[in-house]
């Protein structure tokens, strides 16, 4: 039934005008291009085995099993996907475990760029034709986990002053990323190292060592801000807009981390009974830190993870640039574990999220695109939704800590059902000597058997016969 439905969708997109619209010339070629999921090119993908992700459970599902899929704004998701496509088609192709997915996404991106612009319904058909949804969870888990983040806006200075005395650091040149990592927003797994003057590699400085001055005098400061709590918030969120003395808006975004596991400050404050769980929020944490500076620094040191930044621009007229290299789209861009997922991968997420100012939850069923990462985003079904900048975005992001069902959209070139069906069966093994001798009893042995037994009985149960 599923195959018949797929064929019907493809045939509709290729052989007839879409929803009564005329299909002529370029429009016809675009519709045909969007409907050929297995088109080959110079980067054809021939998977040797079905797609696998470490410590992950993958389950193919039908589109109609995704509640809310048909009602989503697929055109908005398609536009966000296109932004990643323009970078996915660069000539540099990564090595390692994500290469197979990267190459398959490139093929889909070629079809997406050729099909643009398309209507809402055509966008839905494009995703359904070129991808297959796979339920994804960490092994042993029943669902994934979803949080939100935003871009803080803070006051800052190019130079340290009596007011602006908290530095924001760029990536140090002696920081050596974890193995198989590279570029901005490198993997959240593994230990970042520091190369000493003698060439020895040792663990990089932790938060406490940096607060004690390990980076002083190295001219790594991008800017200075007022509050240590804001510096921690910027590290958690992964980007910020810093309004400088002359009114210039400095944009900074995540570039690297020191390799230590992220320890949530909220967890420490709840465990120590400092802030009740039902009162916990980013603003509540900030207020407590401002009122208790000495205790706050001790708490911050418990989180040894530290984030470094890069300058992303000098304006405030566009969204922040994610680690995937493209401007993020509020409500459509997510941060994922970049050691497992390729930037540009679509996910359909189903979760009950409080997206209004009321204390009730509303259903969140939305197609989103992986375009960012963060040091706390670890695991196959873990995502941080980007909500934009400013107070409204902060309110949305700060209230989200919810389970969610994740469906990863995998290019049909990597469809595990198709790949498994195309895998050749292993060659038949020749029978072992012992098996061969039992399956065909020697003629002389049969001649000496009692008349109470026949050859058929011997073949079925030789041990019983011989007894």
Residue 382 has φ and ψ, to the nearest 5°, of: -135, 125
Closest among 30, 2, 3, 4 to 17, alpha carbons compared:
30
How many other CB atoms are found less than 10 A from the CB of residue 249?
15
The per-residue pLDDT for 242 is 95
Work out whether strand 362-372 and strand 333-335 pair parallel, antiparallel, or are unpaired.
parallel
Distance CA 75, CA 112 (A): 12
Strand, helix or coil for residue 152: coil
Q: Where are the domains of the chain?
A: 1-35, 433-466
The per-residue pLDDT for 8 is 40
| In contact, 335 and 347? CB cutoff 8 Å | no
Helix or strand run (H / E) with residue 54: none
pLDDT in tens, the chain (467 residues): 444 444 443 333 333 333 333 333 333 333 333 444 444 444 455 555 667 888 999 999 999 999 999 999 999 999 999 999 989 998 877 766 688 899 999 999 999 999 988 999 999 999 999 999 999 999 999 999 999 999 999 999 999 999 999 999 999 999 988 765 544 445 555 678 898 888 889 999 999 999 999 999 999 999 999 999 999 989 988 889 999 999 999 999 888 889 898 898 999 999 999 999 888 877 888 899 999 999 999 999 999 999 999 998 777 667 788 888 899 999 999 999 988 999 999 999 998 776 655 445 567 899 999 999 877 789 999 999 999 987 788 888 877 888 999 999 999 988 766 655 554 555 666 666 544 444 444 444 444 444 444 545 545 555 554 44
The per-residue pLDDT for 319 is 78
| In contact, 266 and 280? CB cutoff 8 Å | yes
Pure H helices in 23-88: 26-34, 74-88
Distance CA 11, CA 292 (A): 66
Burial of 467 (0-12, 13-18, 19+ CB in 10 A): exposed
The per-residue pLDDT for 7 is 40
């Amino acid at each position: 039934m599923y195959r018949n439905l797929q064929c019907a969708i493809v045939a509709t997109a290729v052989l007839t005008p879409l929803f009564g619209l005329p299909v002529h010339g370029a429009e016809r070629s675009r519709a045909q291009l969007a409907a050929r999921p297995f088109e080959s090119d110079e980067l054809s993908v021939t998977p040797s085995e079905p797609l696998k992700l470490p410590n992950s459970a993958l389950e193919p599902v039908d589109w109609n099993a995704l509640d809310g899929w048909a009602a989503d704004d697929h055109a908005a998701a398609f536009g966000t996907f296109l932004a990643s496509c323009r970078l996915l088609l660069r000539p540099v192709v990564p090595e390692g475990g994500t290469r197979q997915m990267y190459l398959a996404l490139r093929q889909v991106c070629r079809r997406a760029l050729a099909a643009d612009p398309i209507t809402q319904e055509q966008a839905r058909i494009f995703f359904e034709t070129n991808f297959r949804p796979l339920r994804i969870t960490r092994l042993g888990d029943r669902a994934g986990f979803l949080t939100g983040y935003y871009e803080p806006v803070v006051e800052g200075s190019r130079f340290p002053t009596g007011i602006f005395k908290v530095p924001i650091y760029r990536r140090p040149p002696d920081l050596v990323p974890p193995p198989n990592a590279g570029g901005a927003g490198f993997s959240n797994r593994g230990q970042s190292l520091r190369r000493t003057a003698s060439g020895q590699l040792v663990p990089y400085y932790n938060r406490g060592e940096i607060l004690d001055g390990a980076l002083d005098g190295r001219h790594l400061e991008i800017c200075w801000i007022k509050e240590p709590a804001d510096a921690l918030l910027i590290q958690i969120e992964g980007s910020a807009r810093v309004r400088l003395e002359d009114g210039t808006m400095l944009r900074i975004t995540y570039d690297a981390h020191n390799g230590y596991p992220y320890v949530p400050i909220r967890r420490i404050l709840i465990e120590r009974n400092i802030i009740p769980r039902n009162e916990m929020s980013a603003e509540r944490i900030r207020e407590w830190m401002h009122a208790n500076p000495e205790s706050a620094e001790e708490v911050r040191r418990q989180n040894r993870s530290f984030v470094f930044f890069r300058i992303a621009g000098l304006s405030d007229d566009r969204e922040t640039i994610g680690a995937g290299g493209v401007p993020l789209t509020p409500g459509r861009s997510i941060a994922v574990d970049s050691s497992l997922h390729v930037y540009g991968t679509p996910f359909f997420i189903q979760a009950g999220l409080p997206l209004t100012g009321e204390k009730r939850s509303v259903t969140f069923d939305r197609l989103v695109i992986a375009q960012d990462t963060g040091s706390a985003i670890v695991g196959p079904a873990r995502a941080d939704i980007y909500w934009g900048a400013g107070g409204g975005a902060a309110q949305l992001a700060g209230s989200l800590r919810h389970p969610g069902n994740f469906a990863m959209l995998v290019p049909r070139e990597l469809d595990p059902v198709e790949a498994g069906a195309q895998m050749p069966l292993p060659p038949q093994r020749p029978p072992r000597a012992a098996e061969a001798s039992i399956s065909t009893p020697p003629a002389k042995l049969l001649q000496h058997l009692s008349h109470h037994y026949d050859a058929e009985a011997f073949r079925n149960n030789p041990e019983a016969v011989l007894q």
